Amino acid sequence: MILIINILNIFKKNNNITLNEFLNIKDIPIGKNYLSTLDGQIILFIKVNPINIDLLSEEELESKMDLMSMEFSNEQYPYKFLVIPRTVDIAEHIHEQEKLKSESENSINTKIIEERIKFTTNLVANKDIIENEFYLLIWMKDTENSEIEINKRANAWTSRLRNCEFSSEILKEKDIILLIKSFTIPEFARSESTDYRDNIVQIKRKD
């Protein structure tokens, strides 16, 4: 186990635990880009920005899959992917449209922008429309040189992702804190009967 939560072992030891113990978090050092755990590991998080595979042809998709297989097949250390569903945030888009509207001097353009804002707002209102965020987690034992080594691994990962035409970023202290908070205060929740497979894209090769 090395992800953030080690619930079973903790509850076997003591029912009266702190939140940090529950999450297996020891510290998120100020100014650093990793998290240290109570079981002696450090974890580094890489956010991977998704692409729309529906815009790719079958040949392009096959080529990308082959390239990813080649790039990642030689990875010798363990890693995990997190797929976190979030409610769609249209605030930035609406702000952009409102700015265009304020700068428009043409009544027809203004009307088009107003209709665009109305359509977008109605599209997400009272609907469970989500978008997925993707995170790559790498970790190692916390030693004197672990910070240097894990950052070398992280840079290698971002380089391989870039070779596969994926943009990515290594999370810093503030972003790690926000990510951890999303586990304790989820922005997105559904009933137990929900089939989450509907929200996770699965890529398969042709038979």
pLDDT in tens, 75-111: 888 899 888 877 777 777 788 888 888 888 888 888 8
Band of the pLDDT at 141, cuts 50, 70, 90? very high
> Domain for residue 207, yes or no?
no
Calculate what percentage of the chain has a pLDDT beyond 90. 22
Average pLDDT along the chain: 78
Residues 1, 14: Cα–Cα separation, whole Å: 19
Asked whether the whole model's pTM tops 0.95, one would answer no
Give the DSSP H/E element, type plus range, for residue 202. Answer: none
Residues 37, 5: Cα–Cα separation, whole Å: 10
Burial class of residue 118 in the structure, from the number of CB atoms within 10 Å of its CB (0-12 exposed, 13-18 middle, 19+ buried): exposed
Which is it for strands 41-48 and 168-170: parallel, antiparallel or unpaired?
Answer: antiparallel
> Domain for residue 149, yes or no?
yes
Give first-to-last CA distance, the chain, whole Å: 35
For the ranges 157-161, 173-177, 193-197, the lowest mean pLDDT is seen at 193-197
Structural domain boundaries enclosing 108: 91-124
CATH of the domain at 138: 3.30.1460
Co-location of 138 and 194 in the same domain: yes
Co-location of 161 and 118 in the same domain: no
Residue 35, token pair as written in the block: 């998290």
Q: What is the dihedral of CA 152, 157, 163, 166, to 10 degrees?
A: -130
Task: Provide the pLDDT for residue 185.
Answer: 57
Which among 137, 136, 135, 142 is positioned nearest to 36, based on CA atoms?
A: 142
